[in-house]
Structure 1
């Protein structure tokens, strides 16, 4: 199933396929399967390992605390004592992560950086879920939300609960309509937050 996800674009280009709506349904179903939370797996291998498997399965990559190299190969996930590898950064560019999988984030205590770029399933509920996750309220320092067409003012405003956030970059978010209000609310709630916006007026 992982191979299907990674190679689905080239596969679609070479095959005689059903109509576009049928293909969308199939990939939507498959991506939902990738995002199903396995709570037993979290108990067995710990939150960071389970979250790593989820993220890589969905096409994202992770970087562990104390390491410079990004991990993007599911089959190359490091082995060793449980709890040795703590997720410090997530780059979810062009991944299929969606709200139903966000329970995997609950146990991440070392996550400082999160990049959501061109994620077609990221919506306001995802940002709200991030902002309500107690561990992330403490740990997140840097966040980028780029070209996520389902994100609106509501989702971005919810990020005010990330009390230790130091840097927020927002770009190409057509659902954002109240740029000045967002700036005012976030800067009032998080005075030390550096915000960069590249939004069309």
Structure 2
């Protein structure tokens, strides 16, 4: 069941489901199930393994510290001693990650880059939660937010708490209404940030 869900999110089939309410409700419910946080699992296998399972279940990819290969198959996650594999990069393109699953990010100490592209369940709440995660405040260096239609200026401004962020790329975000003011706020609060905008 988890593999089917990951395939659904990864291939974009979710967007081609019937538009009537019953179909939408079913897929929304299924994606919410995939995002439910299992705190006992986090305790049992550690934050990086548990987060990897959540991300792949939702159709995202992860890359571990010291490895070039992106992990995309839930059933082929590497095994080893507890804590051996540390997530360094997350590519959530077209995934079904949502705010209720973001507790999985707690305790990830080595994540340097996150790509959020065409994520239909990413709202301002997600970016606020991301920016309030202490481990990510320390480790996150690069962030891409592309074609996430539910993001507004409020969510982008919340990113100023990511004090070590070096690079931020924003593109195709129709919810951003005050582009110049929002960019100015970020530049003032994050003077070392390289900010690239493609919002026209």
Report Cα offsets for 1:60-83 as digits up to 9, x if no partner: 000000011100100000000011
Q: Distance in 2 between matches of 1:101 and 1:10?
A: 21
User: Do 2:14 and 2:27's aligned partners in 1 also have CA atoms closer than 8 Å?
Assistant: no
Q: Deviations over 1:32-67 (max 9, x none)?
A: 000000000000000000000000000000000001
Secondary structure in structure 2 of the residue aligned to 1:110: coil
- In the TM superposition, structure 1's runs of 4+ consecutive aligned residues that sit over 2 Å from their partners are 6-13, 17-20
- For the pair 1:54 / 2:48, whether they are aligned, the reply is no
The separation in 2 between residues aligned to 1:127 and 1:11, in whole angstroms, is 23
Deviation at 1:21, TM superposition (A): 1.7
Gaps of 5+ in 1: none
1:181 aligns with 2:156: no
Post-superposition offset of 1:22: 1.0
Cα distance in 1, alignment partners of residues 128 and 98 from structure 2:
13
| Whole-angstrom distance in 1 between the partners of 2:40 and 2:159 | 30
Q: What is the CA-CA distance between 1:142 and the residue it aligns to?
A: 0.1
Q: Which runs of 5+ in 2 are unaligned?
A: none
Give the whole-Å Cα distance in 2 for the aligned partners of 1:58 and 1:115: 14
Q: Which residue of 2 aligns with 1:70?
A: 70
- Residue-pair matches, total: 197
TM-score under structure 1 normalisation?
0.94
In the alignment, the residues of structure 2 paired with residue 33 and residue 3 of structure 1 have an alpha-carbon distance, to the nearest angstrom, of 13
Q: Determine the structure 2 residue equivalent to 1:92.
A: 92
My pick for the range that moved more, 3-12 or 117-126, is 3-12
Match of 1:4 in 2: 4
- The higher radius of gyration belongs to 1
Which residue number corresponds to residue 115 of structure 1?
115
Take 2:14 and 2:128, find their aligned partners in 1: how far apart are those partners?
35
SS at match of 1:149: coil
What is the CA–CA distance in structure 1 between the aligned matches of 2:14 and 2:132, rounded to whole Å?
38
For 1:181 and 1:131, locate their aligned partners in 2 and report how far apart those are by CA, in whole Å: 20
How far apart in 2 are the matches of 1:60 and 1:117?
10
RMSD between superposed Cα atoms in Å: 1.7
1:20 positional shift: 2.3
SS in 2 for 1:170: strand
Relative distance call for 1:147 and 1:18 in structure 2 (3 A) is closer
Q: CA deviation at 1:11?
A: 9.8
Secondary structure at the counterpart of residue 155 of structure 1: helix
